[in-house]
């Protein structure tokens, strides 16, 4: 994935001014997260607006769901707004240019779903491009920041959905319990059958419920997607 634009079945993502391009992590999260009964959604670090638009498509034009998408980088927020305006859901998705810390301080809403494909690099060399550093490193969105936001802005039955590499996912789950958030759904993602899990998608809530766990393998062999992955992405990818 890459280039100046990425075309999906019902919308196109322009991304020449965004530090982080359309990628598998965001696409997986946008297709996997449970949206049943959801009316108020918050997308943290929306970047191109990808996940917000995927959720808007899944909710449909007749759904009462509204989506607020927060982006700290000004150029990314401008481009995300453009992507939203070009889509069928311009009246359902609102892009706001704030850090999530600023937004949390004044936001009075309580969300049924908070979703984020967060940065996860810690103590690593920084990119020369400042916007890419912000998008990739935890300096501006730590796990603590994300969890503090969730505790304050989630409704009583609301869910927080994120995706992390395995090591960071384990740290996140341990930290989340200190904030009173408990994992309710978990998806282990393997690139291919013989390759270990590389990503974990998690849904957390304020209530401790029986954990639902599944494993998804993306490719059966190189360039051949598994039926399970195709089922997830078929409403979005042009090829399927």
pLDDT tens profile 19-36: 889 999 999 999 999 999
- In the chain, what is the greatest distance between 2 CA atoms, to the nearest angstrom? 48
Q: Name the band, by pLDDT with cuts 50, 70 and 90, for residue 177.
A: very high
- Is a pLDDT exceeding 70 seen at residue 69? yes
Q: How much is the mean pLDDT over the chain?
A: 91
Could you give the 3-state DSSP secondary structure of residue 7?
strand
101-110, 126-135, 162-171, range with the lowest pLDDT: 126-135
Query: Smallest Cα–Cα separation from 191: which of 214, 167, 215?
Result: 215
Q: Which of 16-20, 164-168, 215-219, 225-229 has the lowest mean pLDDT?
A: 16-20
Residue 123 or residue 18, greater confidence:
18
Q: How confident is the model at residue 225 (pLDDT cuts 50, 70, 90)?
A: very high
Reported confidence tier of residue 122, pLDDT bands at 50, 70, 90: low
Which of 216, 224, 167 is closest to 195 using CA atoms?
216
Contact 134, 126 (CB under 8 A): no
Distance (Å, rounded) from C-alpha 181 to C-alpha 178? Answer: 7
Q: Which of 198, 238, 240, 239 is nearest to 218 (CA)?
A: 198
Residue 162 has pLDDT above 80, yes or no: yes
Residue 131: how many CB atoms within 10 A of its CB? 17
CATH superfamily assigned to domain 5-233: Vaccinia Virus protein VP39 (3.40.50.150)
Q: What is the pLDDT of residue 135?
A: 42
The span from the CA of 181 to the CA of 165, in Å, is 19
Percent of the chain's residues with pLDDT above 90: 84
Whether residue 134 is predicted with pLDDT greater than 80 in this model: the reply is no
Average pLDDT over residues 64-89: 96
- Arithmetic mean of pLDDT, 90-103: 96
In whole angstroms, give the CA distance from residue 77 to residue 115: 17
Above 70 in pLDDT, residue 131?
no
């Amino acid at each position: 994935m890459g280039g100046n634009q990425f075309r999906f079945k019902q919308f196109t993502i322009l991304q020449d001014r965004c530090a982080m391009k359309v990628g598998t992590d965001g696409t997986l999260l946008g297709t996997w997260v449970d949206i049943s009964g959801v009316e108020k959604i918050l997308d943290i670090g929306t970047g191109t607006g990808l996940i917000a638009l995927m959720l808007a498509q899944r909710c449909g034009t007749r759904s009462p769901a509204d989506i607020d998408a927060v982006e700290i980088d000004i150029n990314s927020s401008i481009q995300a707004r453009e992507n939203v305006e070009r889509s069928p859901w311009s009246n359902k998705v609102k892009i706001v240019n704030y850090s999530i810390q600023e937004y949390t301080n004044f936001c009075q809403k309580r969300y049924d779903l908070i979703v984020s494909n967060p940065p996860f690099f810690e103590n690593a060399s920084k990119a020369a491009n400042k916007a890419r550093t912000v998008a990739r490193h935890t300096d501006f969105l730590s796990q603590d920041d994300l969890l503090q936001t969730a505790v304050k802005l989630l409704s009583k039955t609301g869910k927080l959905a994120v995706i992390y590499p395995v090591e960071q996912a384990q740290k996140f789950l341990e930290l989340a319990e200190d904030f009173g958030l408990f994992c309710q759904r978990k998806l282990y993602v393997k690139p291919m059958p013989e390759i270990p899990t590389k990503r974990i998608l998690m849904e957390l809530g304020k209530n401790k419920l029986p954990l639902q766990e599944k494993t998804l393998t993306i490719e059966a062999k190189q360039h051949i997607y598994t039926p399970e992955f195709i089922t997830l992405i078929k409403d979005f990818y042009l090829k399927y």
